[in-house]
């Protein structure tokens, strides 16, 4: 990916890079193996178009979580480990 599509932020000394994913489309569907377990909304196959969006290049680490929120409630400790325990509302960006 072109460097112009990456942005790096530093929060309390911890760097975090996000990358831009451009607009695109794909076919969404349940696989043939999942057909009998699939919800009606997963059938039939249909095209989905996503607007471009920004996403973290890596998972949010415990180190970054602590730098932003001042606490870390993850069960697995270690600054470079991904955060695995958070509430959805806490993870949302307003």
Domain count, the chain: 1
User: Could you tell me if residue 18 is inside a domain?
Assistant: no
pTM attached to this predicted model: 0.69
Q: What is the pLDDT of residues 19-44, one digit of tens each?
A: 999 999 988 887 777 777 888 777 77
Going edge to edge, which strands form the sheet with 14-21?
6-11, 14-21, 53-56
The DSSP 8-state label assigned to residue 16 in this structure reads E
How large is the average pLDDT for residues 54-60? 93
With beta carbons less than 8 A apart as the criterion, state whether 61 and 6 touch.
no
If pLDDT is split at 50, 70 and 90, which confidence band does 87 have?
A: confident
Boundaries of domain holding 78: 59-94
User: Could you tell me if residue 90 is inside a domain?
Assistant: yes
User: Could you tell me if residue 25 is inside a domain?
Assistant: no
User: Could you tell me if residue 17 is inside a domain?
Assistant: no
User: Could you tell me if residue 83 is inside a domain?
Assistant: yes
The DSSP 8-state label assigned to residue 82 in this structure reads B
If pLDDT is split at 50, 70 and 90, which confidence band does 94 have?
A: very low
Mean pLDDT taken over the chain? 85
Cα 78 to Cα 18: distance, rounded to the nearest angstrom: 22
């Amino acid at each position: 990916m072109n460097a112009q599509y990456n942005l790096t932020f530093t929060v309390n000394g911890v760097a975090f890079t996000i990358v831009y994913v451009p607009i695109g489309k794909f076919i969404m569907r349940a696989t043939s193996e999942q057909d009998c377990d699939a919800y009606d909304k997963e059938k039939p196959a249909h095209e989905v178009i996503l607007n471009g969006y920004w996403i973290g290049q890596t998972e949010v680490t415990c180190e970054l979580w602590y730098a932003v929120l001042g606490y870390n409630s993850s069960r697995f400790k270690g600054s470079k480990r991904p955060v695995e325990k958070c509430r959805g509302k806490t993870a949302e960006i307003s």
